[in-house]
Amino acid sequence: MGICEGRVAIVTGAGNGLGKAYALGLAAEGARLVVNDLGVGTHGEAGATKGAAEQVVEEIRAAGGEAVANTDDVADWDAGKRMVDLAIASFGRLDAVVNNAGFVRDRMFFTCSPEEWDAVIRVHLRGHFCTSRHAAEYWRAESKAGRPVDARIVNTTSGAGLQGSVGQSAYSTAKGGIAALTLVQAAELARIGVTANALAPNARTRMTDTGAFAMAAEEGAFDVFAPENMAPLVAYLVSAQSRGVTGQVFELKGGQVFLSQGWTDSPSHDKGARFEADEMDAIVRALVASREPAKPVYGAG
């Protein structure tokens, strides 16, 4: 009996890569699933992987699990409600939303077009909002009706969002926003029995294989960047075992799991009075020199 036995989850972007690994891992742990995938390519091109959600559902069913497919756009407001309604109609409840869907439009900031910026922000940030917002409304109604809620939101951030990535300004901005959204969700939804956490995976996906961040597997060695390495933490966070773990950002790489510290206060200087502009340089440089070094921006020389 798996740790997600009896749980019902929606996994977005679950037709390939990380999302597929999450869906298969959750099903193996006993969860019943709504497998969402729009069938777009790495850059959001329509129809590139049409039928991916259905194929994952077939694989889950062949292994004895329960799943239904959904091919909606995660950033569509009404589609978010359809996914929640599908879970309830199919399985009688909803316990978790795993937000994973997304794509990239890699550009240096000075060449990024408004259309590329908007497309990336939409699929990641709005995409994390729509389904979770409708799920939260359902869980709030359950709580108000006196029915116990023990639900989960699992978001997908990135090292690009936590520390920045050269050539990925839109993607980094979206993923940083998701980390902040997770903190707010955790604070606001705790009272109704919902936890919210985020993952920053280090794994080989269609997005990493398109550019400078390719993560090739070494023959005969532990595949550090296999998407399947990320699935056990997702299953844990969806399960009842993770009750009370909320507002956290986890980074994973191979067999390592890190807990991100996030933004926090570091060295300070208190003059006790208003600063003069010409004294700020010495103070700022002293503060920068005394702080713990930040992780470098990905791709920075």
Closest CA to 12 of 135, 193, 164: 135
> For the chain, where are the E strands, in sequence order?
8-11, 32-36, 67-70, 96-98, 151-156, 194-202, 249-253, 256-259
Q: Are 166 and 300 in contact, with CB atoms under 8 Å apart?
A: yes
Counts of helices then strands in the chain (DSSP H, E): 9, 8
Cα–Cα distance, 24 to 151 (Å, whole number)? 20
Cα–Cα distance, 260 to 199 (Å, whole number)? 10
Token pair of 253 as six digits: 């790489």
Residues marked as catalytic: 158, 171, 175
Cα–Cα distance, 80 to 276 (Å, whole number)? 52
